[in-house]
Structure 1
Amino acid sequence: MSDALLRLRDVTAFYGPAQALFGVDLEVRAGQVVALMGRNGMGKTTTIRAICRLLPHRSGEIAFMGRDISRLPPHRAARLGLGLCPEGRRCFGNLTVEENLLATARPGPWTIERIAALFPRLAERRAQLARTLSGGEQQMLAVGRALATNPRLLILDEATEGLAPAVRREIWSALAALKAEGQAILIVDKTLREMLRLADACVILEKGVTVWSGPPSALTPELRDRHLGV
């Protein structure tokens, strides 16, 4: 038996009549950082949506903490400990930074004060409306909002896309601090160097199928060119 925190086995999923996932296998263990990789359009975000129950999967197994979550609605899956920082940030623009964090807060070690310490810019802008923040600050807020749920698994979909280098470094530093504390993370990101430096394991998707998995040290230049090259 696997001791995986999250386990996907041969997962398929559709958008209407169009099949998007054809057989995804993936595991994340407690305290592990897993990089979900692949070219654009290969099924990474769809896999995340299936995990978080935002998209029903057609067949295969999705288990979290040893429990089949395939029939759970998104809010119940989230309560089990799935914390999503979605692509596009999706902060509540008419709420302040603090109100955004309070909106998702659940009891646990990640308090608003701890999140503000992880991202000092959020502390400085605590009373500021989210829509008035810079893109980088909104991204920090999106990560902080996911942390406020006190997740067992933090899922990040393109958390550094389109950000200035200094902001990207700040976010990667925060993620490294989370890893050091034992936070399990599933991450999708186009910044391979930083992602591979953080990851314990990698999973590569191609056309909705898991085609390779292993540690970053085993991801050879040949594999990168074959599955990740433009």
Structure 2
Amino acid sequence: MSFLTVRDLTASYGVSQALFGVDLTVAKGEVTALLGRNGMGKSTTVKSICQMIRSKGTITLDGLNLQNLPSYKVSREGVGLVPEGRRCFSDLTVRENLIATARPGEWDLNEVTKLFPRLDERKGQRAGSLSGGEQQMLAIGRALMTNPRLLILDEATEGLAPIIRQEIWAAIRQLKQETSVAILLIDKSLKELSAISERAIILERGRTVWSGKMTSLTHEITEKYIGI
């Protein structure tokens, strides 16, 4: 049963329309990959789900209509976002970044630092002084501190060193195996996505052009919609 359902989603930036009809679903406890070339509407879809921009269409989370809710209420309903570009609070310490978003639940400082031990080592350090990979861990930890029911990761491994990328993927696998959180994942690494995702949705020019099981994603489909 779908936990997140998006139907016929359209969105614009001023007079420039970016989404023309996006359909997607994410099931509880599963990882769904949102794919497509750059500029095809993936991040705009995420912003629409989180109500960071206004859109039209249907967006429901566990039966609740998210349309027209302020973004902070969407977060309170259980949507945790790891945004593209990390966007940590650079002048706050690691610990302060984490507790700033904390909500009651199983994810607390202890659990987050168990998932990412580096954050425990640097808990008194300003976020702006962390490496890019450590900031990404912090962004994921900050989202988990909201105790989300749906976790959205927008390019969580982009631009990171290979060893750090593997740590991030290992953490996502652990989340899938040990929690019931639904995960919507945007990334360019098809190899890693194929190993962790049950389903995939492909966007092309602001529309859903393919959806199905990850095992049904053929080389021909990826060359048509994802290849350069």
What does the per-residue CA deviation read over 1:90-122, in whole Å, with 9 as the maximum and x for residues that have no partner?
000111000000000000000111000000110
What code does the residue aligned with 1:25 have? D
Map residues 120-131 of structure 1 onto 2, 5 A cutoff. 120-131=117-128
Gaps of 5+ in 2: none
What code does the residue aligned with 2:120 have? A
Pairing partner for 2:93 from 75, 96, 101 = 96
Mapped partners of 2:78, 2:158: distance in 1: 25
Q: Which residue of 2 aligns with 1:113?
A: 110
Mapped partners of 2:199, 2:29: distance in 1: 12
What code does the residue aligned with 1:6 have? L
Mapped partners of 2:85, 2:168: distance in 1: 15
What does the per-residue CA deviation read over 1:123-145, in whole Å, with 9 as the maximum and x for residues that have no partner?
10011100010000000000000
Mapped partners of 1:225, 1:81: distance in 2: 35
What code does the residue aligned with 1:5 have? F
Mapped partners of 1:196, 1:87: distance in 2: 21
Mapped partners of 1:209, 1:168: distance in 2: 29
Pairing partner for 2:204 from 198, 203, 206 = 206
Secondary structure at 2:53's aligned position in 1?
coil
Q: Which residue of 2 aligns with 1:215?
A: 213
Secondary structure at 1:161's aligned position in 2?
coil
Deviation at 1:183, TM superposition (A): 2.2
What does the per-residue CA deviation read over 1:156-181, in whole Å, with 9 as the maximum and x for residues that have no partner?
00000000000000000000000002
Secondary structure at 2:151's aligned position in 1?
strand
Mapped partners of 2:61, 2:11: distance in 1: 18
What code does the residue aligned with 2:49 have? I
Count of aligned pairs between the two proteins:
227
Mapped partners of 2:44, 2:193: distance in 1: 20
Pairing partner for 1:163 from 156, 160, 166 = 160
Q: Which residue of 2 aligns with 1:49?
A: 47
Instruction: Give every structure 1 segment of 4 or more consecutive aligned residues whose post-TM-superposition deviation is greater than 4 Å.
Output: none
What code does the residue aligned with 1:45 have? S
Mapped partners of 1:89, 1:51: distance in 2: 18
Q: Which residue of 1 aligns with 2:139?
A: 142
Q: Which residue of 2 aligns with 1:83?
A: 80
What code does the residue aligned with 2:5 have? R
Mapped partners of 1:164, 1:215: distance in 2: 29
Mapped partners of 2:14, 2:194: distance in 1: 34
Deviation at 1:81, TM superposition (A): 0.1
Question: Normalising by the residue count of structure 2, what TM-score does the alignment of the two structures yield?
Answer: 0.98
Q: Is 2:13 the partner of 1:15?
A: yes
What code does the residue aligned with 1:15 have? Y
Q: Percent identity?
A: 56
Gaps of 5+ in 1: none
Deviation at 1:65, TM superposition (A): 1.2
Question: Normalising by the residue count of structure 1, what TM-score does the alignment of the two structures yield?
Answer: 0.98
